[in-house]
Structure 1
């Protein structure tokens, strides 16, 4: 849209808005055979391999749904819950449009204080209740997208996620409310006097360690619950029916608690300070820290005869293993850049390093894997030991010939697996008892035993495994402690646990437990070399490396105990907080789930045919949308009105993407206008309607390999256009039909993963080729091809980047005015010429990370700059760019909404052409991403 504004001179302002995708459209593999259990409360849909575990999960969910809605006005209504067992990420969500929940059910190596899947199901059950109590009256088949929008506008993320974490703690013996490591960043802020405001805790920071809004949300919800255990139901009941009322949540909060959110935040922090501050004088704070510009973690310190190694994790770089000189701990030398991991991890033995990496199927994003990698520092060779596996936390045997790791199969059954390093073959395995999951194993000195974390329905424990007899021995009483990184110390075990009000290192020996460290904030990740204990000490600057001789340890005998939350109303002993009885069993019938039979599921009316992905040329209209539960079928039918030409548009589209190709069939019937020139050069306006039937087929692929992301694929499209109701007869050179033009595109992209502070990839190569022609037309001719390339290079400093785009095209006949390559900036203001190629340079760099609150309206996270130089038809261009620009981008959040992240842009462009209609002009933009 162009707006003319008269100041002291005329400016042309281009204003654009970009919208990011907010709905999940990814699929599981087409080979998955789906089953179902149906109850009065829900339908559980799961892969057939998960059938042995499904009845237990269904039984748990039935109780969770009842408990997590017990304090709310409305009971949760029927919902579909999909178990994505082939997806190994630990996550889950509840959504509307369509209404469903998805849970990623595979437990990983991430230590917790209870089983993963029940805790996840408990958390998501609360979200189901929240939706039903706030927007539950707005339903399918017409209202779910509206209900989702109103839910997001009315409830801030800190509230609904913090409330769900509260429910984890109330209705289980575990929950994040009893994890001191999860609370640790806020505790550290308080003890060190870091007084961040509410906005920073909600929206986060690029430059500082700030806990997620889940954490501060839990503490604030706990303050509410401590005063009134029924307050959450009262808040939602007051808001329901007033969803269009301004500041609906704040008004309800004020009415039912007496304070608004910002005041509750201050009260929460003040009360936490009373809880934690008195202990601050007891602890040693003399920790040698790295001199990084921003907080950086040096995780899992491990030592061989030459040096100490750690996994470096910070906002400026992607994760890598570094070598630290023991005599100069402030110096680090990069050893190896790691790929994407579910959790930071590596294991060192002499010159060998092993770790695991997260991978995905090239086509199906919910078919994911964890593979084992090994690197030989002597030969500088890296090797992948497994493919399409579900292996976790590999460890190298003392003989350096084998690796043992944890495997979780599709029924959530855990095994120990032996891999031969030389051949990469699986040489042995030990299947563990049903319901027992092991994490983070470690060898003893001679390789005859393992020690690992054990997790079951009883809680957590230390488990010793005799590799000769393959027998398992629990060393502790089962509890709700978070145990991490156990290692052997001769006949003793050193491990991290949260006995007390923080995390420290402990030693188990012959049934007795002693405390080894007294860290101010938290001690983690122990390892032994010779007679020295290496570990991580948490600080405001991240996890730092610390070491101490075993002879200098001051041990203190302790008695293990159940872990309690900070708040008395969340005590394990309170009757209304009693954890769910998992011994109750109900018989369920498992049946086939017919995906094709359930392909059509109309859920929403919307005003946009593309889910508001773009506001370009947005026309008033209405669409009816259907999506199946497995994201394989999308159907939408609709009507729009084009105000510019005063014509109606009718459309329908059907997409099917269960298999490798994504196929879209669409139909459009729309009005058009034009003008015809007579023999005496006068113009006569006329109109017509045209029906277009189009077919688009795409084969998109993407995969991760180390620190690099690859995407590649092929797109094909064709259509048939028929014009009718032409108001002017006897037209010449006007075709009433265009039959099957063919369009092809092939592309290949290779980009490095971005660090938190990276604006673009540090390295990237992206190439796309497009070809169009009319092989079935007698009256029309023409063809077009284009080649587009996009390269990324590191800039002059960290997180700076240089982008170079070179594109070229050739067009003839009907395609003479087709432009498939990116134009230079200011293209519309220079005299027309046939564009053969463009060369575009962009240099981007961050200016500052202000973390600045503008009242309660906005929170500015980053300010960055952009410099551009653009060339057109370089075969006859001068050294001076055809156009150049400089701009500022401001990344910010609005109000207390965690998402999206908005970017406000202002850019000034200069055109180096004496015939340009505008030589200089500004451009303003607003975009946002999730």
Structure 2
């Protein structure tokens, strides 16, 4: 019985924490703002009984294509056993980002349609299939008790249940399995996608479940897509698709349990695992099957499934790796941590340039040197690592953000002149990718907003267009190169598959060199009459040589975990490339005459093959149907109330207020609104609150209104008693109405360039505060040094009357300037960074002068004495014009451990922060620790008020740990601060806590 009550108490505690998270997660994580399209965009829509597609008017032809894709997907009976409910799909076609997402608060999916250079299927098909599976997952959870909660809380509760209970690796892994089983190829047939986990498991061993799921700063850990594909796919091989269907059903019907997802897996394992382990074939996959089975018996279900899957796969992969020998020469590099070298390019002078990025290195072009790489230049954000070198100039494609609209950026060409050390960006109206050399000129792939691709050649200065070939329909050109004989060799991807093609620059004639294939192929380069390219025919990334038209040639070179990025030397006698290891892509080379001539062996991808048979449906699109489209009126669709109930989600406040509230976010994410009657800070009896933000124009308009009863206003009065001629002191407590409203206009400018994130944000704010509608609540008379209650109709109270209404109108003007370098994964702070804030506020209205306040803040980051160490400074100064009283709160920080008050304040923070260790350790399922960080600080504060002018100091240490609780994906920073301050001449201690909802 004692155990029962202990377990029961633990259950109550867990459920309490759960419901806290259910409230917080929607408030802080699910009302996501991923940005807006330019306000000039004209929108149209296609509506059917199953879906709604909202798209820019210039995307009409592709919108019809998308509608045909979704019609097929909605008609298919999927392995989760549920028909997806109606969903809105928002097409983001103005920018250069290739991505997608699906969410439930509000319920919609967003499609970023710019095609990447590493597609495994036609991009729009791939994107729709993957994101559609998320829609099915969410609908599967939204049943039973979760559906009942939906009527109380709205859409936020479904996403909260999923966020707390369903692992991220399952959501993305299941969607990746679906894209693989339904699409022509999918990432489950992409060695580039699969080999990260293969190399880690084979060379580094099997990490703990916690490390595999939550990541590490010490080692590279494959992401949740890769982990999830193997977990979901390999489990379906052994247990069938019902294992995951049952798990989501239990989560939806029993979200009040402690771990419904894991509980469902445990029931499946209890039913089927023993029979699986009794098969001789399965046991033969383990070196010591009895010890593996026994060790996993006492683990929880997710860890058992993880160990089963990867213990099996480890043996398969080791046998496969042992059959491959390296026949090439590695190019030596020096790295203690995981680092990738992409596209090693030899120069005529014998040097080798590569693009490098890794755990300790944000992206940069480097010279490869045995003693250590020499950084040429850091770059902006790259989505494809291909670059070109010619005549001491480097060219690559990087993302250029729009000054205002998050969905208006473009992929542009950037150049770096090695002789002048000069970086330059070449903006264009269309997205540009995959640069290559054409004699002394430059070629690249251009894709317009309608996803129409072209091959383009421009002069050496990238100013004059010399050649253009437009693709047909959905064709995309991938990784073109010049053969030196007037032809462009490129991969062409469309709905039929992929093939190699030659394009004559003089005539524009196109000559297919191979048939279409569903397998991945890319990076073709010409060596005389041979074309060398990367292919995935044998479940690995290998190099193939094509000698004759209309066939794919022969296998020329292999590596254990794949090869990529073939580049020929200037004399075309050597082939430079990268080969993958558990420590990243490493550079290598081989003489062209040493390439082998082995037959192509097209092998099946075992997991992909099995899940394809289980799904029993292959996506085949015909676009015969034409759907009615009509204008989408932005004004009529400003409001979209998606969540409601007894909580008030306030993303600007760490607290969650309780009351009755509703939240709206329209489908274009231009208007955000939360309104309700809640119990907030300073309002014991509740208050009306409205928060709204409109982001549809360049200036962002933020509005906030609060009004509620305030019982805590107390005032004391001195009254002459006419009979005794004595002075009596009376204190009256009033209940009043406190109303506050603010309106803020800000003008954000994103001026990011190269590896620097730069923003300028001027703003102006109007604030109205009023205390009105007074009512006497209690009155007290000071008698014999004690307060004695008197009735509110006492004559003294009548003499006093009621206070005048207080109205305060404040205007605030500000400017925020920020500039910081891009960070590597291990960096604690930016290597270099500056943030300046200027502000001024006053009361210019109604001839009321409450003085003014001026402040300036500066935060600066500098490199420390070792990698990932950081030295930071904070400087703040504030001046208030009124010396005897203040109507303005402090806008600058005080020294740590000290509070400053006065009309003239100055603060200096100095901090040195450094990592101590990367434990990757867990305390049961409760806590997982990734990094321990220490800091030393010394602060100075100068305070001037009407009584004194003094300077105070504080100094001490901080220790924090980057951690995760309950295996939730949200990283937390937890620790303490211990110091000494001279204002009170005492020690102080603070808890440090922060949580990030970016995952």
2:83 to 75, 87, 93: 75
Match of 2:180 in 1: 169
Q: Distance in 2 between matches of 1:847 and 1:252?
A: 40
Name the larger-Rg structure: 2
For residues 215-226 of structure 1, the aligned pairs below 5 Å read 215-226=226-237
Q: Distance in 1 between matches of 2:158 and 2:109?
A: 15
Deviation at residue 888 of structure 1 after TM alignment: 1.1
**Secondary structure at 2:132's aligned position in 1?**
helix
Is the alpha carbon distance of 1:142 and 1:606 closer, same or farther for their aligned partners in structure 2, counting shifts above 3 Å? closer
Match of 1:12 in 2: none
1:38 to 28, 37, 47: 47
- CA deviation string 1:186-227 (max 9, x = no partner): 211233252212222211222322211211211111133223
Deviation at residue 761 of structure 1 after TM alignment: 1.0
Q: Distance in 2 between matches of 1:902 and 1:284?
A: 44
Q: Does 1:433 align with 2:472?
A: yes
**Secondary structure at 1:54's aligned position in 2?**
helix
Is the alpha carbon distance of 1:65 and 1:397 closer, same or farther for their aligned partners in structure 2, counting shifts above 3 Å? same
1:506 to 540, 544, 547: 544
Q: Does 1:860 align with 2:904?
A: no
Q: Distance in 1 between matches of 2:170 and 2:812?
A: 49
Match of 2:65 in 1: 56
Q: Does 1:108 align with 2:116?
A: yes
Match of 1:354 in 2: 395
1:707 to 755, 776, 791: 755
Q: Which has the higher contact order (CA 8 A, sep 6+)?
A: 1
Q: Verify the 8 A CA contact 2:774 2:802 in the aligned structure 1.
A: no
Is the alpha carbon distance of 1:122 and 1:71 closer, same or farther for their aligned partners in structure 2, counting shifts above 3 Å? same
**Secondary structure at 1:318's aligned position in 2?**
strand
Greater shift after overlay, 521-530 or 815-824? 815-824
Q: Verify the 8 A CA contact 2:104 2:156 in the aligned structure 1.
A: yes
Match of 1:7 in 2: none
Q: Does 1:519 align with 2:559?
A: yes
- CA deviation string 1:606-625 (max 9, x = no partner): 55544455335x54323111
Deviation at residue 240 of structure 1 after TM alignment: 2.5
Q: Verify the 8 A CA contact 1:141 1:602 in the aligned structure 2.
A: no
Q: Distance in 2 between matches of 1:22 and 1:801?
A: 32
Q: Distance in 1 between matches of 2:936 and 2:943?
A: 20
For residues 137-156 of structure 1, the aligned pairs below 5 Å read 137=147, 139=150, 142-156=153-167
Match of 1:4 in 2: none
Greater shift after overlay, 40-49 or 275-284? 275-284
Q: Verify the 8 A CA contact 2:821 2:833 in the aligned structure 1.
A: yes
Q: Verify the 8 A CA contact 2:955 2:979 in the aligned structure 1.
A: yes
Match of 1:3 in 2: none
2:31 to 19, 23, 29: 23
**Secondary structure at 2:760's aligned position in 1?**
strand
- CA deviation string 1:312-354 (max 9, x = no partner): 11222211111124xxx34321111111112223211241210
Q: Verify the 8 A CA contact 2:904 2:943 in the aligned structure 1.
A: no
Q: Distance in 2 between matches of 1:562 and 1:120?
A: 26
For residues 731-750 of structure 1, the aligned pairs below 5 Å read 736-738=805-807, 740-750=809-819
**Secondary structure at 2:61's aligned position in 1?**
coil
Q: Distance in 1 between matches of 2:312 and 2:855?
A: 63
1:449 to 487, 493, 508: 487
For residues 18-417 of structure 1, the aligned pairs below 5 Å read 21-25=29-33, 26-67=35-76, 70-109=78-117, 111-136=118-143, 137=147, 139=150, 142-226=153-237, 227-258=239-270, 260-284=301-325, 287=330, 289-306=332-349, 307-325=351-369, 329-398=370-439, 400=440, 402-417=441-456
For residues 653-672 of structure 1, the aligned pairs below 5 Å read 653-672=691-710
- CA deviation string 1:504-542 (max 9, x = no partner): 111111135122212111111111112111111111221
Unaligned runs of 5+ residues in structure 1 are 1-16
Q: Distance in 1 between matches of 2:648 and 2:813?
A: 24
Match of 2:298 in 1: none
Q: Distance in 2 between matches of 1:393 and 1:567?
A: 30
Deviation at residue 810 of structure 1 after TM alignment: 0.8
Q: Distance in 2 between matches of 1:879 and 1:168?
A: 67
Q: Distance in 2 between matches of 1:879 and 1:376?
A: 55
**Secondary structure at 1:364's aligned position in 2?**
coil
Q: Verify the 8 A CA contact 2:700 2:745 in the aligned structure 1.
A: yes
Is the alpha carbon distance of 1:926 and 1:681 closer, same or farther for their aligned partners in structure 2, counting shifts above 3 Å? farther
**Secondary structure at 1:395's aligned position in 2?**
strand
Deviation at residue 816 of structure 1 after TM alignment: 5.4
Deviation at residue 100 of structure 1 after TM alignment: 0.6
Aligned-residue Cα RMSD (Å) equals 2.6
Match of 1:908 in 2: 978
- CA deviation string 1:608-651 (max 9, x = no partner): 544455335x5432311111101111222211225866332112
Q: Distance in 2 between matches of 1:581 and 1:567?
A: 18
Q: Distance in 1 between matches of 2:683 and 2:352?
A: 71
Deviation at residue 233 of structure 1 after TM alignment: 2.5
- CA deviation string 1:473-498 (max 9, x = no partner): 22222111111211111121111111
Deviation at residue 692 of structure 1 after TM alignment: 3.0
Q: Distance in 1 between matches of 2:716 and 2:949?
A: 40
Match of 1:533 in 2: 575
Is the alpha carbon distance of 1:592 and 1:844 closer, same or farther for their aligned partners in structure 2, counting shifts above 3 Å? same
Match of 2:742 in 1: 694
Q: Distance in 1 between matches of 2:492 and 2:804?
A: 73
Deviation at residue 682 of structure 1 after TM alignment: 5.2
**Secondary structure at 2:70's aligned position in 1?**
helix
Q: Verify the 8 A CA contact 1:504 1:522 in the aligned structure 2.
A: yes
Tell me the TM-score normalised to structure 2 length.
0.86
Q: Verify the 8 A CA contact 1:839 1:874 in the aligned structure 2.
A: no
Deviation at residue 653 of structure 1 after TM alignment: 3.0
Is the alpha carbon distance of 1:732 and 1:665 closer, same or farther for their aligned partners in structure 2, counting shifts above 3 Å? farther
Is the alpha carbon distance of 1:548 and 1:485 closer, same or farther for their aligned partners in structure 2, counting shifts above 3 Å? same
Q: Verify the 8 A CA contact 2:833 2:860 in the aligned structure 1.
A: yes
Q: Verify the 8 A CA contact 1:844 1:866 in the aligned structure 2.
A: yes
Is the alpha carbon distance of 1:96 and 1:455 closer, same or farther for their aligned partners in structure 2, counting shifts above 3 Å? same
Match of 2:714 in 1: 675
Q: Distance in 1 between matches of 2:801 and 2:844?
A: 22
**Secondary structure at 2:545's aligned position in 1?**
strand
Unaligned runs of 5+ residues in structure 2 are 1-23, 274-300, 719-727, 777-797
Match of 2:502 in 1: 464
Is the alpha carbon distance of 1:682 and 1:284 closer, same or farther for their aligned partners in structure 2, counting shifts above 3 Å? farther
Q: Does 1:553 align with 2:606?
A: no
- CA deviation string 1:205-263 (max 9, x = no partner): 22322211211211111133223234333332233321111111011112234361111
Is the alpha carbon distance of 1:582 and 1:780 closer, same or farther for their aligned partners in structure 2, counting shifts above 3 Å? same
Q: Verify the 8 A CA contact 1:142 1:603 in the aligned structure 2.
A: no
For residues 555-634 of structure 1, the aligned pairs below 5 Å read 555-558=597-600, 561=602, 564-566=605-607, 568-571=609-612, 574=613, 576-583=615-622, 585-611=624-650, 613-616=652-655, 618-634=656-672
Q: Distance in 2 between matches of 1:859 and 1:420?
A: 55
Is the alpha carbon distance of 1:575 and 1:316 closer, same or farther for their aligned partners in structure 2, counting shifts above 3 Å? closer
Match of 1:921 in 2: 989
Is the alpha carbon distance of 1:557 and 1:716 closer, same or farther for their aligned partners in structure 2, counting shifts above 3 Å? same
Match of 1:11 in 2: none
Provide the aligned length of Structure 1 versus Structure 2.
897
- CA deviation string 1:45-92 (max 9, x = no partner): 11111101111111111212333x533343111111111111322211
**Secondary structure at 2:757's aligned position in 1?**
strand
Q: Distance in 2 between matches of 1:642 and 1:481?
A: 58
